[in-house]
Chains A and B, each alone.
Chain A
């Protein structure tokens, strides 16, 4: 038997062994597989399914007093009252109405998403409604909305505000379509809701879970003493790690696919190719396996893995921007691609690649830089992890 063939056979033998162990350690495996989907449903429930009060900033320029005459209603004040009294079926208020004077400050709140919608009630709004009611004019009164098109809450706030405003004006004027609405957008034009914006990060979260399954495969051998048996066999470190990696990449890709399908079931429409997504996911999973080898080098028992081991997990989770955006610390630029401090974590690059694929329809060429960078980091972490793992667990 040639050396390469013998090596392949030993690797396959270990692959089979680690596969069955992985399957039978069902609690950890199930946790790894459903962690991503669980977060998808949780975020979906949080952002979409809940009934929040939308923050409505109202710049009221309607000067009723100046209009004079008893037949002109204080329409803006009435509209404000309508918004304030609007309720969800469960009795909770739909809007948190906040009158504003400073338009620039209000705009900043929209951009920062501290508020969902800015409504400008123009001067002469009441007079125009009165004229419409009295058939003196066929031109409806106009409201102007300023919103962030990428903010799902803004879309909901606009729809509900429209409904309330039109109902109020129709009742006031006893005429159909007494209002018109102009919409202005802040930020980029592509409209994405919050849930969609979070999906790429949630997909990466599914991959990060592989840190546990991969580290489990290694630490378990140390914990139960079977590493000594492996050391006495002809199995080499590289063969062992190759088998673990192949198995864990499989777990990562399945977890990614399940998470993606869960997101689709919740209404997410990714723009890019699923195949490219899976390619990036597979490379990233390999990098997570490399990090798990590094982690396992420091752990001697499963208890340690479940306690100390959560530390690198949370590092990956928080600093990859899976949970919330981080300030960008520019480190270097390579071939026109900006690298940030947290790009030392391959999952950070993966989040960026997934955003390009899913939100912008990016293809393999568009994420080529990220794939190469993740692969380079994987090589570095594997080299370091293997060296440390050998030193700490395989040295006699």
Chain B
């Protein structure tokens, strides 16, 4: 799961948090390598935010521990002050301060000198596209800008680890690209942990991901590794010109490595590894039986497929 201790930026060991009978985080253990972008995936209510709070020292675990670069994190005020930056799920900023004022204030409250804070703030405002709004009050910013400011506030003191809780939520496509590119640029110099249930974003950004649900770790690997672990293959959807696609089923059953097939009216859906060869055979059967092919869709398995398979389709909070 992890490599040697010296390149581990954050290690969670047996993290557990209970609220009455509810176990929000259940014996969660994982390690995040220095400089990587690590995805913390899970449906709503999976325990991501609770785990994140324990990772930055804002919440005391009932059991387990967190280490930041080999140092134990003690929950409490200023516990991870210099090492961790946080951008919470809901944009948290000071509505009555300008972007510049609040970024400088946070820098100063983390011990940066006035000059360094100013320099750092200028960098961040430019990088996150907030220069033109630098002297506007937080409350006058658009929702997307507020979220970018939220991220900047977590970065101003140059933390070793940045914890981003649903950073893409509420962003327009342009802002998503900007934030994604910026976070990507941070990789190497900074360790980034992103909690999200946006699988597409996680695939684009993260080198490794873990999937949690009901507070428990379900999988942890690279995106490709997780897909392999889950045994997922390519996805096929064939829409035929007959109402009952089941006419094709016996023929499919004769094929080697018969896939799990789902019939939805005239549409046949199945997933299988090594899809190209299989597809050729299926098309041959379709032709032999004189069935007309209306539409054929094929796509690679996504992280979302794995995610749904691991966490189920049931609605959460």
Q: Which chain A residues have a beta carbon within 8 Å of chain B's beta carbons? A: 1, 6, 9-10, 13-14, 16-17, 20-21, 24-25, 224-226, 228-237, 394, 396
Interface pair A225/B109, CB less than 8 Å apart: no
Interface pair A233/B95, CB less than 8 Å apart: no
Once the chains are docked, how many angstroms separate the CA of A345 from the CA of B19? 40
Interface pair A6/B96, CB less than 8 Å apart: no
User: Number of A-B pairs whose CB atoms are under 8 Å?
Assistant: 85
Q: Is B105 an interface residue (CB 8 A)?
A: yes
Once the chains are docked, how many angstroms separate the CA of A160 from the CA of B113? 71
The 5 closest A-B pairs by CB, nearest first: A13-B108, A233-B109, A225-B92, A24-B96, A21-B96
Which of B56, B97, B137 makes the CB contact (< 8 A) with A232?
A: B56
Tell me the nearest residue of chain A to B94, going by C-beta: A226
Q: Fill in one digit per residue for B104-115: 1 if any A CB lies within 8 Å of its CB, else 0.
A: 111011110100
Interface pair B58/A233, CB less than 8 Å apart: no
Q: Is B62 an interface residue (CB 8 A)?
A: no
Q: Which residues of A are found within 8 Å of B128, using beta-carbon distances? A: none
A-B contact pairs, 27 of them (CB 8 A): A10-B109, A10-B111, A13-B104, A20-B101, A24-B96, A24-B137, A25-B96, A225-B88, A225-B90, A228-B58, A228-B92, A229-B106, A231-B77, A231-B78, A232-B56, A232-B57, A232-B79, A232-B81, A233-B81, A233-B109, A234-B78, A235-B78, A235-B109, A236-B78, A394-B77, A396-B57, A396-B60
Q: Is B51 an interface residue (CB 8 A)?
A: no
Tell me the nearest residue of chain A to B117, going by C-beta: A13
Tell me the nearest residue of chain B to A24, going by C-beta: B96
Once the chains are docked, how many angstroms separate the CA of A396 from the CA of B78? 11
Tell me the nearest residue of chain B to A230, going by C-beta: B109
- Say whether, besides A16-B105, A224-B94, A236 and B88 are in contact (CB < 8 Å): no
- Say whether, besides A20-B97, A232-B57, A14 and B92 are in contact (CB < 8 Å): no
Once the chains are docked, how many angstroms separate the CA of A10 from the CA of B78? 13
Once the chains are docked, how many angstroms separate the CA of A232 from the CA of B57? 8
Once the chains are docked, how many angstroms separate the CA of A232 from the CA of B52? 13
CB distance from A82 to the nearest CB of B (A): 65
Interface pair B110/A233, CB less than 8 Å apart: yes
CB distance from A395 to the nearest CB of B (A): 8
Q: Is B32 an interface residue (CB 8 A)?
A: no
Q: Is B212 an interface residue (CB 8 A)?
A: no
Q: Which residues of A are found within 8 Å of B90, using beta-carbon distances? A: 225
CB distance from A137 to the nearest CB of B (A): 80
Q: Fill in one digit per residue for B62-96: 1 if any A CB lies within 8 Å of its CB, else 0.
A: 00000000000001111111101010101011111
Q: Is B59 an interface residue (CB 8 A)?
A: yes
- For chain B, residues 15 to 57, give those with C-beta under 8 angstroms from any C-beta of chain A: 56-57
Q: Which residues of A are found within 8 Å of B202, using beta-carbon distances? A: none
Q: Is B9 an interface residue (CB 8 A)?
A: no
Q: Which residues of B are found within 8 Å of A21, using beta-carbon distances? A: 94, 96-97
Interface pair B110/A17, CB less than 8 Å apart: no
- Among A24, A233, A237, max chain B CB count under 10 A is at A233
Once the chains are docked, how many angstroms separate the CA of A31 from the CA of B94? 22
CB distance from A216 to the nearest CB of B (A): 11
Given A9-B108, A232-B81, A236-B78, 17 extra CB contacts under 8 A: A6-B111, A13-B105, A20-B96, A21-B96, A21-B97, A25-B96, A226-B93, A228-B88, A231-B77, A232-B79, A234-B78, A234-B109, A234-B111, A236-B77, A237-B77, A396-B58, A396-B60
Q: Which residues of A are found within 8 Å of B75, using beta-carbon distances? A: 396
Once the chains are docked, how many angstroms separate the CA of A282 from the CA of B244? 87
Q: Which residues of A are found within 8 Å of B113, using beta-carbon distances? A: 1
Which of A9, A224, A228, A237 makes the CB contact (< 8 A) with B95?
A: A224
Q: Which residues of A are found within 8 Å of B105, using beta-carbon distances? A: 13-14, 16-17
